[in-house]
Amino acid sequence: MKILKNKRNNFTVTLEIETDYAAVEKATGPAFQELARDAKVPGFRPGKVPRHIFEKHYGTALLLERASTIVMNDCYRQAIDTEKLQPVDYPRDVEVKTLDKEKGFVFALAIDVKPEVKPEKYKGLKIQRPADQASAEEIEKELAQIREYHAEYKAVDRPAQNEDLVGYAVKAFTLDGQPIDALTKERTGTRLGTNFMSPDFDQAVIGMKVNETKKFKVKVNADYFVKEAAGQEIETETLLLEIKERVLPELNDEFIKKISAKQSLAEMRAEIKTNLEKQKKQTADSQAKNNLIEELLKANDFAVPEALVREKVDIMLRNLEADLRNRGLEFAKYLQMAGKTAETLRQDYRPAAEKRAKLDLLLEKIAEKEEIKPSDAEIDAELERILNGGRQEALKAEEIEKYKKTLPPAFRENITRYLTEDKTLDFLLNNAKINN
């Protein structure tokens, strides 16, 4: 096999390849085996027709066509290895130039390949990282929520106030006097100030006493669950049945001991601070990484093949479909609910897919340049984590080794790829100029 031409134009490489005609003749054997499986010749079962009968029935041109395709595929794979090309799509514009016993077999094709990325501006990137310290106000807010959760409601003999829990009977009517059965209740309740049905209703009840009846108009919330009344102005006749005052527990050591294993308010504050800062650190790390990626892409802008963008969109759509299935929702139903078509959704995903394609290429080249890769021990640890995922009892060492032998090579390659990506991003963060 000879490569007569190797011409590159942006992402497209055009190859012209020559090989001996004898290679095509040799490939007619495998070509016949493939074609004979589906050949329909009277008097013979599929796959059992002799070659000379097949050629008489179908002619030799079909064999040569299939044989030349087999040879082209073999030569193409060799050419990719020889020229160290990284295709991102299937070959196109395939053209047979010569197929002759004397002149040999010459063909041409075009293939889109990864762009030649040369990352340079990737160290010292200036990025923002949110603070990850918990403020005193944030800690007190958490404590206030704990108090709210453990609040008690006690009956009181006074007019209703904001934040009271009230029980009432209500009759509801349209403005022309027609009953609204879905809103008419012998006993129901609400916490004043939540404006559950309507701010007008809560305000009208404030100041009422137990056993007092009051008629008033209200504008029902537009998102209220009773659809026939949502967003409508209605008449109500409300009888107040009970008033309960919200009583918050006193925030002290005794309260903390009662609701937790902590022995003091100081211990609870310390635990809240630790938990808040753990959450804030995760958020800050994630935001810093996102900011780093944005700055990296700004500093190293380049175009990518359309085929690579399509591939990333396909991955995003497959991930979406898998997530929807896990939630019991069909993809077609999701599109209907979102008011989208598959094509408009693809267009929506395209900007993110293009960024992902660029990022993958950049990180790959930076990892090569900086010689970043996970160790065998790190890959094995990640593999073990995956194999033990969701298990109540961890696998034994011999069981893990048994599983490893059954996994396809691509599984370990995928782990290596994303661990390399994570280590490369960590390298970039460690070499960035971070402002908190």
**Phi/psi of residue 211, each to 5°?**
75, 5
pLDDT band for position 38 (50/70/90)?
confident
Name the more confident of 389 and 194: 194
CB within 8 Å of 233: residues ≥ 6 apart: 175, 217, 218, 219, 220
Residue-level pLDDT at 9: 87
pLDDT over 80 at 436, yes or no = no
Extract the tokens encoding 150. Answer: 């453990």
The two tokens of residue 128 are 């923002």
Return the structure tokens found at 372.
């970043």
Helices 136-149, 265-299: axis angle to 10 degrees equals: 120
What is each CA distance from 309 to 111, 292, 360, in whole angstroms? 15, 21, 11
Q: At what angle do helices 51-58 and 21-36 cross, to 10 degrees?
A: 90
**Domain map of the chain by residue range?**
2-112, 152-247, 372-436
Please identify, in words, the CATH class of the domain defined by 2-112. alpha beta
CA distance 98 to 68: 11
The residue-averaged pLDDT of 345-366 equals: 96
CA distance 283 to 326: 26
Q: What is the mean pLDDT of the segment spanning 374-393?
A: 88
pLDDT range class, residue 215, cuts 50, 70, 90: very high
- pLDDT score of 370: 95
pLDDT at 207: 96
Secondary structure (DSSP) of 180-235: -GGG-EEEEEEETTS-SS-HHHHHHHTT--TT-EEEEEEE--TT-S-TTTTT-EEE
Q: Is the pLDDT higher at 157 or at 409?
A: 157
* Residue in the structure block whose two tokens are 């016949």: 32
- On whether the pTM is more than 0.75, the answer is no
Q: Measure CA 12 to chain center.
A: 31
**Interstrand relation of 233-247 and 213-219 (parallel, antiparallel or unpaired):** antiparallel
pLDDT of residue 46: 79
Stronger pLDDT, 273 or 388, i.e. the higher one: 273
- Neighbouring residues of 158: CB distance < 8 A, sequence distance ≥ 6: 209, 243
- Mean pLDDT along residues 155-175: 96
Q: What is the pLDDT of residue 405?
A: 85
d(C-alpha 230, C-alpha 98), whole Å:
76
- On whether the 152-247 domain is CATH 3.30.930.10, my answer is no
Mean of the pLDDT values across residues 109-115?
Answer: 94
